[in-house]
Each structure stands twice: as structure tokens, then as C-alpha cells.
């Protein structure tokens, strides 16, 4: 195992690979061997998260486009969202529901965090999940109805936005809300410049992907930025309410970023 006494220190390339493994191991169902679980690796994993978004988004976009081609945009949109949920074990959706219950409870921070940790979902969580998935499905369906390529780009960009949001939730200025868990492992591990660079790279990738579809080269990065802004507003609310982040907060940020991105794409035509 890396880091054992007497072993050579891993090089930069090895550290990046470990971060990528950590990202896939924690953010997807894809089976990878994760050997390092330290905070430095966790921080690199959050910066590698958009790579996970590209892979999962591409798989979901392809499945959605295939179904939309044969059965219409709405069923294609539901398929794409279902594939994304399956490939993440519903991790981000679960976080969104838990954060909605915590924020909606009106309880002090300690009690709200306890509510979020419970395995059941309350009324705030159910309502938030329902409205979020309806909004996402409606937005993606509209894009598929416009063209299969545009729908696929929307799914891919939303998946990218969701994973870029994770780095912003793990900025060095953002503490963990409680000890233990994934949130405490990744909290305060990402430099602002690194988060900005990763998001800029994702926006550039989205722009390049949209070059063959009219003005999508402009609207895709704008939608990605809008999604990150929405996630940032949620982060600010959660830090003020809970005192920091948890794994649930990161999941909620991911879903918020994806939804904000898709809504902007739908409003952009």
C-alpha cells in the first residue's frame, strides 16, 4: 500500500492516478481499486470529479439519445436521468433529499445534522426530489425534442457541472460540519485557484463539444457557470445553517448545479 514505512514517496503522476481512482471509487459504481484514503488524495479526487462526470454523462447521454430516437424525448430524458442515478447509486439524490429535510426542519444545527443522517426521507426531501427530477426531465426532454445531439450535450454538460460543484464545496475556506464521514475527509482540501481552473477547463470542453450545434458553443459554458452559481448559493446557505459541509451537502450541490444548468439551457431555447 502506498505510503508504507520505507517505501518511496509516490510521484506526481501516481498521486494524480490515486486521486482519479478515489473519485471513481466514491462517485460511481464503476469498480476501481482505491489504495489511498488520505485527505490529500481526497482533495485531488474532487478536482478529478469532472472526469467522472464526462464518463457517466457520456454513458447517460448515449442511452438517452438512443431511447429518444426510438420513443421520443420525454422517455429519452427519463432514461438518461435513470442511468445517471444508477451509475452513482443515487448518491447525489439522497444527499439532496437529506439536505432538504435538514434545512426544512427549522431545528438548530446539531438537530438538523442528526435529521440528515437518518436513513428515512421526510416530506421536505420527498417534495424536493420530486420537483428536481421533474425539472430535470422536462429540461432534457425539450433538448432531445430539438435534436438528439442537443439533448446529449445537455446531459453531458449537466453531469460536468454537477462534478465541478464538488470542488467548490471543498474549498479550503469551507469547514466540515461534523467529524467523520466523507464530508470531513474532503472538506477544506481544494485551493480556490484549482477549483477555478477545473471549472474553466470543463466550460472549455463544453464549448468545444457545442461547436457543431449553432450557438451551443456559447450557451453550454454559460449554463455550466449558472449551475455552479446555484450550487454556490446552496453552499453558502448550508455553511451558515450547519456550520460547514457534509457528504449530503456535496450531493445536494451536485444536483443543484445539474438542475440549474439544465434550466438555463431550456430557457436559452
Handedness of CA 21, 26, 30, 35 (dihedral sign): positive
Residue 22: its pLDDT value, please?
92
Q: What is the pTM of this model?
A: 0.93
Give the angle subtended at the CA of 25 by the CAs of 196 and 252, to the nearest 5°. 55
pLDDT in tens, 84-137: 999 999 999 999 999 999 999 888 889 999 999 988 899 999 999 999 999 999
- Residues 6 or more apart in contact with residue 114 via CB below 8 angstroms: none
Q: Which of 134, 164, 184, 141 is nearest to 230 (CA)?
A: 164
Q: Which of 223, 185, 188, 220 is nearest to 205 (CA)?
A: 220
Question: Confidence class of residue 269 from pLDDT cuts 50, 70 and 90?
Answer: confident
* CA 90 – CA 72 distance, rounded (Å): 25
Beta-bridge partner residues of 245: 176
pLDDT in tens, 221-238: 999 999 999 999 999 999
C-alpha cell at 156: 453531458
Tell me 218's DSSP state: H
Residue 16: its pLDDT value, please?
74
The SS3 of residue 63 is helix
| φ/ψ (deg, to 5) at 36 | -120, 130
Amino acid at each position: 500500500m502506498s505510503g508504507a514505512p520505507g517505501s518511496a514517496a509516490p510521484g506526481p503522476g501516481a498521486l494524480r492516478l490515486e486521486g482519479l481512482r478515489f473519485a471513481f471509487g466514491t462517485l460511481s459504481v464503476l469498480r476501481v481499486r482505491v489504495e489511498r484514503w488520505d485527505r490529500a488524495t481526497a482533495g485531488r479526487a474532487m478536482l478529478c470529479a469532472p472526469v467522472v462526470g464526462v464518463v457517466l454523462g457520456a454513458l447517460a447521454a448515449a442511452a438517452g439519445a438512443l431511447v429518444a430516437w426510438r420513443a421520443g424525448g420525454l422517455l429519452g430524458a427519463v432514461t438518461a436521468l435513470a442511468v445517471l442515478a444508477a451509475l452513482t447509486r443515487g448518491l447525489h439524490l439522497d444527499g439532496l433529499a437529506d439536505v432538504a429535510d435538514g434545512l426544512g426542519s427549522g431545528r438548530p444545527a446539531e438537530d438538523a445534522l442528526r435529521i440528515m443522517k437518518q436513513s428515512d426521507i421526510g416530506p421536505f426531501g420527498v417534495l424536493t426530489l420530486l420537483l428536481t427530477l421533474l425539472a430535470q426531465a422536462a429540461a432534457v426532454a425539450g433538448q432531445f425534442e430539438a435534436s438528439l445531439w442537443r439533448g446529449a450535450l445537455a446531459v453531458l454538460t449537466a453531469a460536468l457541472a454537477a462534478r465541478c460543484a464538488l470542488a467548490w464545496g471543498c474549498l479550503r475556506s469551507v469547514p466540515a460540519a461534523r467529524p467523520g464521514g466523507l464530508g470531513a475527509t474532503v472538506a477544506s482540501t481544494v485551493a480556490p485557484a484549482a477549483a477555478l481552473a477545473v471549472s474553466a477547463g470543463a466550460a472549455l470542453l463544453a464549448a468545444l463539444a457545442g461547436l457543431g450545434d449553432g450557438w451551443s458553443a456559447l450557451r453550454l459554458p454559460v449554463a455550466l457557470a449558472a449551475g455552479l452559481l446555484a450550487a454556490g448559493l446552496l453552499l453558502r446557505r448550508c455553511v451558515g445553517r450547519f456550520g460547514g459541509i457534509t457528504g449530503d451537502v456535496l450531493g445536494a450541490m451536485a444536483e443543484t448545479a445539474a438542475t440549474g444548468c439544465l434550466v438555463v439551457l431550456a430557457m436559452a431555447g
